[in-house]
Structure 1
Amino acid sequence: MNLKKNLNIIVQLALKDIKIKYNNSTFGYLWMVINPLLILVSLYVIFSIIIKLEVDHYQIFLLLGIIVWNFFSEATLGSINSIVSSMPLLKKVNVSLFNIILGANLSSLISFIINVFLLLCMMYFFKIPIFQPIRLIGLFYFLLLILIIISVSSIICVIYLYFKDITHIWTFALFIGFWITPIFYSETSVPKQFLSFYMLNPLARIISHIRNTVLYNYIDSPYQIMTTIIICSSIFFVSLFIYHRYSKKIYEVL
C-alpha cells in the first residue's frame, strides 16, 4: 500500500472521528473552542481568584497547559474509541491498526491547531509578543509531544485488543494525570524531594519547556532538553517493541 493511499485513509479516518464526535451536538465544531475556554475559565476562577496563585500572565500560563493536556488526553483516549468504531474495518478490510491510530491522532491535532490559534489571539490581547525567533523552538517541543502521543496511543490500543478494560483504566489514569501534571500550577510548586521523580513525566517536561519558550522567552539548559529527549525516545522505542510484537496477532484476537 503506497504512501499516498495510506495518507488518504488516515485523513478519511480523522474526518470520520470528527464527525462522530461533533455531528450530534447543538454547537457542533464550536466545541473545539468552547471546551478549552470553559476549562480555562473554571480553573482561572479557582486558582487565580479564589486560591490566588501568583503566576505572571496566568491566563496564558493556564491555557498552554490546558491545550497540551487536552491534545494528549483526547488523542490517546480517542485512539481507543476509534479502534472500537473501526472494528468492522479491521475485520473485513485491509486497514492497518496504525492507520486507525494516526487517524484518531490527526483528528485531535486539528482541534489542537484551532486551540493554538485561540492561544495566539489571547497572547495578542494581553500584549505578549508573538513573532519572536525563540518561539520557533516551541515547534521542536511540539514534535516531542506528537511522538509521545503516537507512542502512548500505540501501546494502549494494542493492549485494548487483548484487554478491553484498558479503556476504563486509561480514563482513570488520565484523571490522575490531570492533577499530577503542571497544568494549573508550576512544577516549581512540587516539593524538592519529589521533583526528580515528578519530572520523569514527559508531559510535565514538555509543558514546562513550552511555557518557558513561548511565555517567558527562556531556553532550558541542554541537560534539561536532552533529558526530555531521552525520556520521550525511551517511550517511543518501548511502543515500537510492543506494537511490532503484538499487533501482528491482531486478527487472532478480534
Structure 2
Amino acid sequence: MRAPEPRTLERRSRAQTRVRWELLRNLIRKDLKVKYKGSTLGFAWSLANPLLLLAVYTLVFQVIMKSGVPRFGVYLMSGLLIWNAFSASVSAACGSVVFNANLVKKVRFPLPVLPLSAVGFALVHFVLQLFVLFVVVAALGYSFVGPGLFLLVPAFAVVMIFTVALSMLVSALNVRYRDTEHLLEVALLAWFWVNPIVYPVGLIRKVLHEWTWVYFLNPMATVTATFQRAIYKAPYVNPANGQTILADPGYLFYLEHLAIAGAISLALLWFGVHVFRRLQADFAEDL
C-alpha cells in the first residue's frame, strides 16, 4: 500500500484542526446557553457582577475598614477579575471529563476540548467583565488609559498558558483520583490570599524583604500585580502613610517576572499535556 502524499497528510491535518476548533466553539456556546437558559437578563448577570463587587468592596475596604489604598475598588478589581477567571476556569475544567462521562464513553472525539471549553467559557465572561470595569471606571472620571495598558498583553498570554496547563493536569487527575476536585477547591481558597489582591504588595516586602522574589515565583501573583500596574493609576507609595502599593513603578520589573512566570507556565503545560495524554486512554474505564 502506497503511503499518503505529504499534501494529503497536510489536508487531513488541517481538516482535523478545523474539526477540533469547531467542536470547541460549539461546547463553549452550549455552556453559555445552558448557564443562562430561562434567565430574563441572560448575559447581563455576568456584566452586573463586577459592578456589584466594585461597589461592595469599595464600601467595605475604603469607607469602613480604611485600607489605606486610594481608589481601593479599582485596585481590587484590577486583580480580582483575572483571578476569578483563572479560578473559575480551573475549577470547571477539573470536573469537565467526569461531568461528561456519558459522552466520553460513547463518542470518540478529541478529549482535550473538554477542559479547554471550560477555559473558553470563563474567558468570555472575563472579557465582558473587564470591558464593563473599563466603562464604569471611565464614567467615574478615573483615568486608566496609558502605556501601562500594554502590559495586559504579555500578562494575559502568561495567565492563559498557566490556566490551560493547570486545567489539563487537574482534569486528567480528577478522573482517576476523585479527591483532586476537593483538594483543588481548598488550594484555590488558600491560593487567593497568597496573591496581592486585597492587600498591597508593600506588605509582602515588609515581611520577606530581599526574599520577595520567591513570592513572585507564583505566576498568579506576578499576573495579578501586572494587571494592577496596567489598570490602577495611583502613586507607587501612598503619601498619606508611606505604604508601597504597587510592586514597582516601572515596566521592566513586570516584564522580567512575566518571563519567569511564562517559563514556569510552559513547563507546567508540557507536564499537564503529558499527563493528560498518558491517562486519557483509561478515561472510559475509570469513569
Using structure 1 for the length normalisation, give the TM-score.
0.89
- In structure 1, the partner of 2:104 is 90
Shift of 1:151: 0.7
| 8 A contact 2:96–2:171 mirrored in 1 | no
Question: 237-246 or 8-17: which moved more?
Answer: 237-246
Aligned to 1:124: 138
The alignment status of 1:198 with 2:251, answered yes or no, reads no
Residues 167, 38 of structure 1: CA spacing in aligned structure 2 closer, same or farther, 3 A cutoff? farther
Look up the match of 1:185.
199
Deviation at 1:66, TM superposition (A): 1.6
TM-fit CA distance, 1:205:
0.7
TM-score by length of 2: 0.79
Partners of 1:76 and 1:34 lie apart in 2 by 23
Given the superposition, is the C-alpha separation of residues 211 and 243 from structure 1 closer, same or farther in structure 2, using an over 3 Å criterion? Answer: same
Trace 1:1-254 onto structure 2 (pairs within 5 A).
2-23=16-37, 27-190=41-204, 191-192=207-208, 195-216=212-233, 218-221=250-253, 222-254=255-287
CA contact (8 A) 1:79 1:104 kept: yes
Change (3 A) 1:78 1:225: closer
1:58-91 C-alpha deviation (Å, 9 max, x unpaired) = 2221111121111011111111343333222111
Aligned to 2:9: none
1:121 Cα shift?
0.7
Q: Which stretches in structure 2 are left out of the alignment for 5+ residues?
A: 1-14, 234-248
What is the percentage of aligned positions where both structures have the same residue? 23
> Root-mean-square deviation (CA), in Å?
2.3
Which whole-Å deviations, capped at 9, do the CAs of 1:88-138 have from their partners, x for residues lacking one?
211111122211111111111110110111121133124344554442231
Deviations 1:142-176 (A, max 9, x none): 11111111111111100111012222221222221
Return the index of the structure with the highest Cα Rg.
2
Determine helix, strand or coil for the equivalent of 1:97. Answer: coil
Q: Deviations over 1:175-227 (max 9, x none)?
A: 21222222221222122256344322211110101211232484132533332
Is residue 181–residue 204 contact of structure 1 (8 Å, CA) maintained in 2? yes
Aligned-partner Cα distance in 2 for 1:115–1:58: 18
Question: What is the CA distance between 1:37 and its match in structure 2?
Answer: 3.1
Tell which deviates more after alignment, 200-209 or 124-133: 124-133
2:252 alignment partner, SS class: coil
Q: Contact 2:90 / 2:166 at 8 angstroms: preserved in 1? A: yes
Higher helix fraction: Structure 1 or Structure 2? 1
CA distance in 2, matches of 1:86, 1:13: 11
3-state SS, counterpart of residue 56 of structure 1: coil
The answer on whether the counterparts of 2:28 and 2:118 sit within 8 Å (CA) in structure 1 is yes
C-alpha contact (below 8 Å) 2:98/2:175 kept by paired residues: no
Residues 159, 166 of structure 1: 8 Å contact kept: yes
Q: Which amino acid aligns with 1:214?
A: I
| Amino acid across the alignment from 1:192 | L
